[in-house]
Amino acid sequence: MSYQILKEYEDNLMLIEDLLGAGITNNIQLDFVGHSLFGNKYLGTFSADNYPKRLHNGEMFIINNKSSKQKGEHFLAISKYKNKVYAYDSFNRDVHKLSKYWRHKSWINANLQRDQSFNEKNCGSRSLAWLISFSKHHDKIIGII
């Protein structure tokens, strides 16, 4: 099962990169694809200091680790399932240490390994691909990617 989920994630990433390219993305691109894929469940793409504080089950968004006053640096995916909020960082860092704006949040680190090399610039596409997989497999995906 885990191999199938990982393969599906990789296929989703290829599809997203076919749409957006394999490099840097911006909030407009991510919002367009996110809303196309998830409709109202996708709340948008936000800066670290300006994101939805309340999240209902099934809702999701992408967040940058920099504030609105800084140049964006790295995107992460956030989604709520069964009253738990999961945060996916393609570099597999502790999300609580990435921004002072969400240090206090009870977000759960969703992945247990790094998925992106440091020379890749596709964290936005990876965040969307993870949201697709998470929306289908929920807690079964935790620790696979």
What total of structural domains would you count in the chain? 1
Say how many Å lie between the first and final Cα of the chain, rounded. 13
Q: Check residue 103 and give its pLDDT.
A: 87
Instruction: Identify whether 16 is part of a domain.
Output: yes
Instruction: Identify whether 145 is part of a domain.
Output: no
Q: Check residue 145 and give its pLDDT.
A: 66
Q: Check residue 1 and give its pLDDT.
A: 59
For 78, other C-beta atoms within 10 Å of its C-beta total 25
Report which of 132, 120, 134 is spatially closest to residue 21, judged by C-alpha positions: 120
Q: β-pairing, 108-109 with 75-81?
A: unpaired
Instruction: Identify whether 21 is part of a domain.
Output: yes
Instruction: Identify whether 112 is part of a domain.
Output: yes
Instruction: Identify whether 24 is part of a domain.
Output: yes
Three-class DSSP category at 39: helix
Q: Check residue 112 and give its pLDDT.
A: 81
Q: Check residue 142 and give its pLDDT.
A: 76
Tell me the average confidence (pLDDT) per consecutive run of 10 residues in the chain, 145 residues long.
Answer: 87 96 95 98 97 95 96 95 95 92 90 89 97 88 72
Q: Check residue 30 and give its pLDDT.
A: 98
CATH assignment of the domain containing 131: 3.40.395.10
The secondary structure of 111-142, three-state, reads: CCCCCCCCCCCCHHHHHHHHHHHHHHHHHHCC
DSSP 13: H
What is the extent of the structural domain holding 23? 2-140
Instruction: Identify whether 92 is part of a domain.
Output: yes
Q: Check residue 52 and give its pLDDT.
A: 95
Is residue 135 a contact partner of residue 79, using CB atoms and an 8 Å limit?
yes
Instruction: Identify whether 133 is part of a domain.
Output: yes
Q: Check residue 113 and give its pLDDT.
A: 85
pLDDT tens per residue across span 13-28:
999 999 999 999 999 9
Interior angle at CA 41, CA 73 and CA 50, nearest 5:
40
* Structure tokens belonging to residue 39: 């409709």
